Chain A
Amino acid sequence: MSERTTRVKGGRALSGPGDGHAVPAPSPATQGLLPDEPLAELAARHGLTLSSARPGPGVYLRQLWQRRHFVLAFATARNIAMYSEARLGQVWQILTPLLNAAVYFLIFGVILDTRRGVPNFIAFLVTGIFIFNFTQRSFIIASRVINDTRELIRALHFPRACLPLGYIVIELQQMLISMVVLIVIVLATGEPITWYWLMVLPAIALQTLFNVGVGFILARIGAGVEDVSQLIPFIVRTWMYASGVMFFIPALSTLYLHAKLSYLMQINPAAVYIALVRNSLLTSLRHTVAGYRPYNRQLCAAGLHQQAHGVLHPALLNSCHLVVGNSSLWLYGVGWAIAAIVIGYLFFWQAEVTYGRG
């Protein structure tokens, strides 16, 4: 030990101060800080590990848990910074969802009138917008998070998954503020308070898991290909129109004879989480759905045929609505959330050491 020590310390074959004025050519002999044994063995003997090594998924999860305070502090700090330039400051957290709801109500409630088959359209629409907005904003922000925080990544060591998590925590905070606005609107439009309301909490918890999972995936893709974060807003907007944010999918008459398409639309994750919250909050919607008969293509076709000839037959048309039941929705909600979080976590973790490079 001591012999090796002196060799390492002594710095063999160094140019002395006297002969240093010529430019020395690089040669192994001038690399004075090297011991004789292979470096990999030396490192292993002293318990050193590769600096760019990635911890296992379990260890990574534990590291992530250790930084939970960082995730929360980071989220709070970002949230404050986000509105610090605006004169109204934090008031925008409430104003933004309200204005959103107003714009969509003007377009879809008044101008286009997509309220077909929905008893309490304002509450229905606002629920859809707020729930979808949570997913939408989570996705957009997650796809940018690595590039936005590159300086922090390059400066400090911490599990990078903290960053998408922190950004989605911000969106969750924003979402919970929106929920307060939503509750006020729901009550103001005459819906009663029921025990069903409590089901909103697990629904949002599942949605948050789903957002985090897909957010991880988008964060990794967005870190590598910046074009993705430019594309995401368009993809998400298309998705919004397919998820029944401003209409009730079972009541969409173009889908009356396309049961499979209607089913697929209803089990897509955004539609599932929106439907779960709506079914929990809106008693009027639950009552409407209860009035529908089980879907029957023949009866529905007959009803539509009569309708085309000017005869309205509500009993037949009531068989047109393919409604995915609440228990199936919960199963899909849990399934989407677990699939997203597991795949997303592993996918993000795989590229842990590459973030912030370049």
Chain B
Amino acid sequence: MAAADPLVVVDDLNIVYRVFGSRADRGTAATAFLRILRRQHRPSVREVHAIRGVSFVANRGDAVGVIGRNGSGKSTLLRAIAGLLPPESGAVYTTGHASLLGVNAALLDDLTGERNVVVCGLAMGMTPREVKERYQGIVDFSGVGDFINLPMNAYSTGMGSRLRFAIASARSHDVLLIDEALVTGDAEFRVKSRQRIEELRAQAGTVFIVAHSMAQIEETCNRVIWLEKGKIVQAGDDVPGIIDAYLAATGGQPLNRGNAKN
């Protein structure tokens, strides 16, 4: 790999969510009205400190896996890197823009896959000609076939996430953030997407992957960050070591490395 060339620098990042309507509010019109009569404000704004002082540097060509239990702040971290969540304190530095690819993020659900490819391609800053040139490649890669002419809300979960991955990875990104995107794909698509991630890395980008499948992280990533309650427990290049430690700590089965090509 080339000399270290940082693409993402996260400096003592803190992210705080403000959640409205946490308790004592059943959300009916009557309770809302009573609240106004009693001159109370919005019911107890609760603060959720999702990321607490995280710092790391990721270089050009890295594929960074982010692991941790549910609610440990993995997705929040990705969204902060993408610039979609303003930090409470600290900072995230990147080159240009990071693109977040979430498995749950519907694009334009009531539109056909075809239109989604075009509109999202343009939104990512491609010219109409580039979109036209890459259109067939995107559709072929996603493997949705004839479904491309149907609205995306008719897609299965796997098809939708495959198309989203195909769209987002059609352009080389400086920083690509993938949130559980590959979990729903079938075996064939996982092989293809792993190749694509390798290509993106080779095209001098950084890829971040959030996934619950440790085997997948280990296959794809050269570094890993283990988050627990918004803090880094371990981070580094020793992917199998950190994954083993994580699995041991969470009571998971150790990985059977016979299958993983490493």
Contacts and interface: CB of A to CB of B under 8 A. Distances in A.
Interface of A: 1-2, 4-5, 8-11, 14-17, 20-24, 26, 30-35, 39-40, 42-43, 46-53, 66-67, 69-70, 73-74, 77-78, 80-81, 84, 151-158, 162, 353-354, 356-358
A40 B91 contact: yes
Contact of B82 (A23, A31, A157, A354): A157
B4 A67 contact: no
- Give the size category of B's interface with A: 35 or more
B79 A43 contact: no
Contact of A33 (B11, B100, B223, B241): B223
A174 B109 CA distance: 22
A26 B118 contact: no
Contact of A52 (B56, B83, B128): B83
Interface in B233-262: 233-238, 240-242, 244-245, 248-249
A26 B232 contact: yes
B91 A50 contact: yes
Nearest to B98: A51
Interface in B180-194: none
12 contacts: A15-B245, A17-B244, A21-B245, A23-B249, A39-B12, A48-B6, A49-B95, A73-B115, A151-B106, A154-B84, A357-B84, A358-B18
A74 B119 contact: yes
Contacts of B111: 77-78, 80-81
Contacts, number: 211
Nearest to A77: B115
Contacts of B235: 11, 30-33
A172 to B, nearest CB: 18
Nearest to B244: A20
A33 B17 CA distance: 26
Nearest to A2: B3
A205 B6 CA distance: 47
B225 A51 contact: no
Contact of A50 (B12, B92, B101, B122): B92
B57 A42 contact: yes
Contacts of B57: 8, 33-35, 39, 42
B108 A152 contact: yes
Interface string B51-63: 0000111110000
A132 B164 CA distance: 39
B86 A69 contact: no
B9 A48 contact: yes
A14 B238 contact: yes
Contact of B9 (A11, A22, A42, A162): A42
Contacts of B56: 31, 33-34
Contacts of A53: 83
B228 to A, nearest CB: 7
A331 B17 CA distance: 47
Contacts of A35: 57
Interface string B104-147: 01111111000100111011110110000000000000000000
Given A11-B236, A26-B233, 11 more contacts: A1-B3, A5-B3, A8-B6, A17-B240, A17-B241, A43-B9, A51-B93, A52-B87, A74-B119, A156-B124, A162-B123
B234 to A, nearest CB: 5
A40 B5 contact: no
B83 A33 contact: no
A11 B79 contact: no
Contacts of B240: 17
